[in-house]
Structure 1
């Protein structure tokens, strides 16, 4: 019996105006029916190029050598009609960014029905299509009544499940899942991974999952393959690769993500404020009884934040953790003065937050936001210098603008600054773009950074570099940080205190060691139980 997927000596080379770049070199992989293979590696290692080559989804600048057999058919020899037939029906892809992959102006029912309609050998009635869509939604644990919802009306986890439903629509034998849980909170991540395992078991389909997170792959796949600089450097049973890797890069991936409770996963300086200690530290930014209420499209009042008390003190890192939709980002926007609370008061340095005038401008210079997606936060037509200088100009300019920009870039570890000032965002790596966003905040010399999921989409090495940078800014500049995250491992890495948010309220808060090792609230216990983990004996 032929394997569903076989790759022999596959190489991918990108040809452009500059010299050719080889993304994949001589890759060999085999995937049988009902098998699960995790493809691990950092950004730029070639794993997505290799996976997209399976369905000839690479751009025209890509040249593919070697042999790729899908269900025994040579992909490179298929006509356009033959290729169209195998896409969706033989193999389908679950892409990473569900919000970008889904059409925002079409209902999810329309989008799930489209591949069924296009690939069906007979004309299906609207009633039959509707029934099939409802069936698929319920298979991925979304109530059928939500079929007329638009993507923005669903949570991140629900949108990702819609992508899985679309991938299943034509009953393929192979699903390629490209970072399917990146940026999802731990509970939803666990649900999506469980769903994929269940579908493999029930349908006998093959699963090729791509991720930079070895713990996610180890929790979902029987076998792992690790890529490094375009080459497959190690392959074997997931348990062995995760616990006793042989290749140096596999060991680096295995140790990159924290084990909560492991003191070695706490970064140097975490939990050790350099300035005042204990109760003597004064609150810089705080909320007292803050509530925020939204109206949905049916004019129903929906509480987003409920009576929250929270404070960020001088010289500390506070992690605000919780699932998507818990109210974390809404609370952060309220603390930043971007939305007025419907009840309660926000204070900065002991005084109520100003609502207009010079005091509000001064406040916004002292409390700066670091956004989650650096690609969306940076204007693609602005150089790095312009991106960083923009904040200074908005706040009235500075006579020493060039000096301030250089200092901010170097504080964000973009050195020497002169090498970066003339570049555009597309010329930078993901980690460099995130540093530019941080530099844009630092140029105003703030006292508090509010960082909204600052490492959610970054691979292991870059994630560690950004977290170490936040600690260094606290140590050397006394900059406090409120880090908003669904990642409990991040809180364990660098935070002094953690506050756990659920359904708009803070259910538990305290020192990181106490909250994460001896949780008092059942919701905190639930979050901790959902974190992927594996035994490892990495030296």
Structure 2
């Protein structure tokens, strides 16, 4: 049986670029096979995958052969290509949040590819069938994207990809930004669909742990070239190429002493604390939602605490309350033993001491502001005028952007993802805070850059005595750098303690559920 997809010496070159984005890649994929395409941002993996359906910009020139069921995609007319898209091969795009149309219902969007390909019969029944395949109830067809969770939106994208019963599905970072439990559910779903329907699956990610949990084979790309290809377990356990080794080493294994980046520390006196915090919201239907329920939590001097939990567990609401951005329904927040001020001036002074590092560095930075302006903004808001240039340079140096002056005039789009995250951290450091509240600080970063940012947070503790509350769904991150872990579930802290005790000897069923959902090389779903 001939492969569904054959790539023969494929290259992709963008007009004006000095080097090809993809160079001489050859791969094949057959019915029921799963291939993971791994590599960091800029390695060419998405350019390669999008070339399969000619979804690249017009400035791209494709060389070699791309055979889909024996036909070269490069030689197809637009009409032939349109017939192939969705029906022979489909794509689950990265970032379901942005890929779905916000003003159309889920059912309309799933039905669209069926209509485009002349589908007949009961569309409503077909949409309900597709929703059932991705484990969503039929009534969700009437919902709009903003009414769905991140995991549900990702399932809708998979349903759309399956709508015309393609033989090949290309999934581009399908679990980015999903919490660990939902990620495991989505990966298991995709593995099951491959087994039941015999489709070929190409999954793209910078996270080897995600790929090894789903794909039988792994192909690693580096600087546009395929540098390693083989069985997933072999590539993970005995990688041959230095870049494959770097990716595998960046994969955090909870319980492995080699993955602990710190020996941990015993915190000093309590610095930032929540005491019996409750936060209630009123839904559109008039019902009371208890987002945070009687939470006690403390971050001590010179301590890193990881607050872990799924999306919707209340951890971000709790963080906003600690920052004074959300007024609690009950309980109190104390900083250095003093209750949080309620006046505007008092809160402004407080926020110099407790700074937020946002999850998405691209969204956090104004694309029209230079790095200098982005970091100086906090100083200007707080009316700090003495030695602005020196303070900005010191903050950038502390965030390991050196020499600082080289970055002053750069715009965010001229920086890598890791550099943008460092600019966001520098913007927090410029006010010389005593506590950082970091919301998923490495969720969107490549594996090796992730390690660099975590090491930076540890160095800041040593050099500046900085305490950090890290909000995350990533238990590997907690194992990497945290001294203590607090586990949040349905608005409550269900377990808190030393990182080794909580992650190696969990006492609550929910903590065990989180740990069981972490991808490993030994537990595969396909």
**One fold, TM greater than 0.5?**
yes
Corresponding position of 1:40:
38
Corresponding position of 1:366:
353
Q: Is structure 2 residue 509 aligned with structure 1 residue 522?
A: yes
Task: Give the CA deviation at 1:38.
Answer: 0.6
Match of 2:213 among 202, 214, 219: 219
Contact (CA 8 Å) 1:225, 1:232: kept in 2 or not?
Answer: yes
Match of 1:81 among 49, 69, 79: 79
Q: Is structure 2 residue 248 aligned with structure 1 residue 254?
A: yes
Quick one: distance in 1 between partners of 2:511 and 2:74?
Answer: 50
Task: Give the CA deviation at 1:304.
Answer: 1.1
Corresponding position of 1:468:
455
When the two chains are superposed, the root-mean-square deviation of aligned CA atoms in Å is: 1.3
Corresponding position of 1:9:
9
| 1:225-257 CA-partner distances (Å, limit 9, x unpaired) | 111111111111111111122222212211111
Match of 1:428 among 411, 415, 421: 415
Contact (CA 8 Å) 1:242, 1:535: kept in 2 or not?
Answer: no
Match of 2:48 among 36, 47, 50: 50
Corresponding position of 2:424:
437
Match of 1:406 among 393, 407, 417: 393
Quick one: distance in 2 between partners of 1:451 and 1:31?
Answer: 41
Q: Is structure 2 residue 300 aligned with structure 1 residue 316?
A: no
Contact (CA 8 Å) 1:365, 1:446: kept in 2 or not?
Answer: yes
Corresponding position of 1:139:
133
Contact (CA 8 Å) 1:371, 1:451: kept in 2 or not?
Answer: yes
Structure-to-structure mapping, 1:15-414, within 5 angstroms: 15-16=15-16, 19-122=17-120, 128-267=122-261, 269-272=262-265, 277=266, 281-414=268-401
Quick one: distance in 2 between partners of 1:535 and 1:52?
Answer: 30
Task: Give the CA deviation at 1:535.
Answer: 5.6
Name the SS of the counterpart of 2:48 in structure 1: helix
| 1:381-419 CA-partner distances (Å, limit 9, x unpaired) | 000000000011111132211110000000000000011
Task: Give the CA deviation at 1:121.
Answer: 4.7
| Runs of at least 4 residues off by over 6 Å | none
Quick one: distance in 1 between partners of 2:509 and 2:351?
Answer: 37
Quick one: distance in 1 between partners of 2:24 and 2:223?
Answer: 12
**Structure 1 stretch displaced more, 512-521 or 527-536:** 527-536
Task: Give the CA deviation at 1:208.
Answer: 0.1
Name the SS of the counterpart of 1:469 in structure 2: helix
| 1:118-156 CA-partner distances (Å, limit 9, x unpaired) | 11254x5xxx22221111111111111222222122111
Task: Give the CA deviation at 1:292.
Answer: 1.2
Q: Is structure 2 residue 500 aligned with structure 1 residue 513?
A: yes
Name the SS of the counterpart of 2:49 in structure 1: helix
**Structure 1 stretch displaced more, 202-211 or 292-301:** 292-301
Task: Give the CA deviation at 1:289.
Answer: 1.1
Quick one: distance in 2 between partners of 1:271 and 1:355?
Answer: 35
Task: Give the CA deviation at 1:451.
Answer: 0.5
Q: Which runs of 5+ in 1 are unaligned?
A: none
Contact (CA 8 Å) 1:431, 1:458: kept in 2 or not?
Answer: yes
Name the SS of the counterpart of 1:21 in structure 2: coil
Quick one: distance in 2 between partners of 1:169 and 1:292?
Answer: 41
Name the SS of the counterpart of 2:21 in structure 1: strand
Task: Give the CA deviation at 1:166.
Answer: 0.8
Name the SS of the counterpart of 2:160 in structure 1: helix
Quick one: distance in 1 between partners of 2:195 and 2:521?
Answer: 21
Task: Give the CA deviation at 1:21.
Answer: 3.2
Corresponding position of 1:492:
479
Contact (CA 8 Å) 1:270, 1:495: kept in 2 or not?
Answer: no
Contact (CA 8 Å) 1:15, 1:21: kept in 2 or not?
Answer: no
